[in-house]
Each structure stands twice: as C-alpha cells, then as structure tokens.
Structure 1
Amino acid sequence: MRVFIAIEFEQHIKDYLNKIQKQVMSYSTDGNFSRPENFHLTLKFIGEVQPSFLGSITAAMAQSVHGIKPFKLRLHNLGNFPRGNKMIIWMGVGGELDVLNLLFNQLETSLGSIGIAKDTRGYSPHITLGREVRLAVPFSKVASAVAIDHQQQIIEVHKISLMESKREEGRLMYIPLHRQPLAD
C-alpha cells in the first residue's frame, strides 16, 4: 500500500482551489492537473508499506497530536517548483504556521520512532494544483493575474488523516484509512 499523512479539506476549500486551478489552466499549454476531490495538504509522504504496519502508523499519529489543539490555516499564494521546461504549480498556506510546523515536527519524531525516515529537505507546506505544467506565459504573470482571497478561505484543522494513494480504473484516488482528531 502507498500511504501518506495529510490534512483533508472541506468541500468549499476544494471548490475554491478548483476555481484557482481553472485560472491557472487557462494560462497552460499542458499539464497533469490534480482532481479537485484529491486536494489536500501533505504532512508526511510515507510510501509503500505492508497493511500490517498501519497500526504502528496510526499509533504514531495519535502520539504526534499530543498537546495540539485545532488550528486555522488560510490559502496564501501561488508558487511553483521548476522541473526543466515544466513545473509543479501549488498553492501555499499561511495562518497558524507555528502550530502546523509543531505538528509536522511531532509527527516526524513519532514516525521516526517506528522506523520511518525523517524528511531531510524540511517541510514546505503546499497544495499541488498541477504537475508537469507548461505555461504559455511566464509564471510571474500567472501569479499576478490570479487573485486569491486570503481572508475568506480558512482551513480549519481538527484532524490529520492517513491516506492511501491508489489507482482505480486509471484514476488516482486518495482514500482515508484513519482520521486522528487533534487534542481538544
């Protein structure tokens, strides 16, 4: 099984991200764009595991949320990771980033205790809108043309989710396997 830990979004956030994604697509000549139902904020990509290991992961998730109360993030800005003549286009997040980073660090520690390697690159929170995107104009033009409502698009974080990534009928699906509430 291929798994990762993420923050899932309410439908209104997915709908808003889809609206932004469509604007980006209008400036694109090519790309592999995320399906709106798959929008999420990855906390930790784990990769391939045996189903028998899932209990250890969910126990580590429970340990990682100790002392973390629900918090709020907001959609922030468009960004990109260049990949040759293509790029990954993403939406950044703002808000209570100190709490998000604490959650990430505690998750890294608890997963590390069960043998999952820590991320050496550090945490760069982003929501992938499209991969292998080719733009018809410079990215800076797209970023300035796409207006993002920073104040209205609030992501309320009450839980973290263990997700399975798999293909069904050729379509990439992210299926929640376990949802771990934050401490109240």
Structure 2
Amino acid sequence: MASDYPHYFIGIPIEKQYEHWLGEWQTELKEKDLKYKSWTHPADLHITLKFLGAVSDKDIKELKDNLAENFRYQSFQVNIGNIGFFGKQNNPRVIWAGVENNDLLNKLQENVENVCISLGFTKESRPYRPHITLAKKAKTDNRFDQNLLLSFQERKEMTVSRFCIFRIHPSSSPKYEVVKEIILK
C-alpha cells in the first residue's frame, strides 16, 4: 500500500459528554506546565482498535464492506478514566486516559484485527493496550511529576455502541473524519 494514499485507523469514538470531561483534564494538565507538541482535539478522542496506515480507495471500500457484514455485536460498557503514560517516568512521550481492558472490548478488537488480516493488512505485533491519547510527543524540557497522576483518578462508565473507520487529515483540527460507522446492537 503506497505511502501517498490517505492514512486510516479503526476506533471507538468517545461519547460527547466524555469528550468534554477529558478535555477539562487536558486543560488542567496544560496548566501544570506539561509541554507536548500534540494535544488531541477533544472531538478526536477515541479508543484505537487498529491502525491501518496508508490505504487505497479500493482497499478502504473492501474494508468498509467487510466490517459492515461481519459485525453483529451487542453494545457494551467500558470504564474510562485514570491518567497513565507511555515512556520515561520523568518525561513520558504519551499521556493517556485509561480504558478498562474487558473481554467484550478485547473480542471486538480481535475480530477487527482478524478481518483486517484477511484483507491483507499487517498483523499488529504488540499486545493490545486500550487507551485514549490526551497528549503526545513530549518536548525535551518537560518535567513530569508522578504525583500528578493521583489528581486524575476518576473513572466513568461509557457505552460502546459503535466503532468507525477514520481518515486522518494531519493538517486539520480536528483531524479525524469518520468514513464508515458500524453500529452495535
């Protein structure tokens, strides 16, 4: 798949009420002088199921058709909240809100992965770690206080009633466009 094609991913959009809540967390984190090159626009907050990368129009159409045909799941609940990070403790490269790793979410992600593999997409080699990215690309002069995590321990229950194929528009804000929505029962 050529790199000049648009980039896509499959993910679960965050319900509007939680976009606002997590957006408030981002504001509080910024006020604590955390320096990141990229803060996720609240409308772009999501739980990734599968990153696809560059995909042709033909392949994205085939994926849309296959996902629409292969998913007859019930909606389910997932707990979101708590702040965590990826990277070095004193300067993490990503700050995220946690997502409960439950059986229904894992099954959905595994089935999305299997449909993608059957269509020729590369299998993800890393274990699935659901999260909602709040900020990424830490600046080198960032100083992260681990005690900060204690201030963001609230959790909320969110209904997962759909997932989407998103097209990435890197120079826009928000930058993710829904190109296909798959509704769960």
- TM band (smaller chain): 0.7 to 0.9
Quick check: 1:93 aligned with 2:93?
no
Q: Are 2:94 and 2:138, in contact at CA under 8 Å, matched by a contact in 1?
A: yes
Of the three residues 46, 59, 69, the one matched with 1:53 is 59
Q: How does 1:32-47 map to 2 (within 5 A)?
A: 32-47=38-53
Partner of 1:176: 178
Deviations 1:80-120 (A, max 9, x none): 011694420001112x7100000011111111110011111
Deviations 1:21-57 (A, max 9, x none): 1222222341121111111111100010111211211
- Partner-residue secondary structure (3-state), 1:28: coil
- Partner-residue secondary structure (3-state), 2:119: coil
Shift in alpha-carbon separation, 1:59–1:81, aligned structure 2, 3 A: same
Q: Are 1:165 and 1:172, in contact at CA under 8 Å, matched by a contact in 2?
A: no
Distance in structure 2 (CA, Å) of the matches to 1:17 and 1:126: 12
Distance in structure 2 (CA, Å) of the matches to 1:85 and 1:144: 17
Quick check: 1:107 aligned with 2:112?
yes
Q: How many residues are paired up? A: 176
Distance in structure 2 (CA, Å) of the matches to 1:137 and 1:9: 26
Q: How does 1:12-161 map to 2 (within 5 A)?
A: 12-31=17-36, 32-66=38-72, 68-82=73-87, 85-94=91-100, 97-133=102-138, 135-138=142-145, 140-148=146-154, 150=155, 153-161=156-164
Partner of 2:167: 164
Partner of 2:3: none
Shift in alpha-carbon separation, 1:14–1:172, aligned structure 2, 3 A: closer
Q: Are 1:89 and 1:133, in contact at CA under 8 Å, matched by a contact in 2?
A: no
* Root-mean-square deviation over aligned CA pairs: 2.0
Higher share of residues assigned strand: 1
- Partner-residue secondary structure (3-state), 1:124: coil
TM-score by length of 1: 0.87
Percent of aligned pairs sharing the same letter: 24
Quick check: 1:5 aligned with 2:10?
yes
Which structure 2 segments of 5+ residues have no match?
1-5
TM-score by length of 2: 0.86
Q: Are 2:85 and 2:92, in contact at CA under 8 Å, matched by a contact in 1?
A: no
Q: Are 1:3 and 1:49, in contact at CA under 8 Å, matched by a contact in 2?
A: yes
Distance in structure 1 (CA, Å) of the matches to 2:49 and 2:137: 22
Deviations 1:145-175 (A, max 9, x none): 2242x2xx3221111101000135x545100
Is the deviation greater in 123-132 or in 73-82? 73-82
- Partner-residue secondary structure (3-state), 1:120: coil
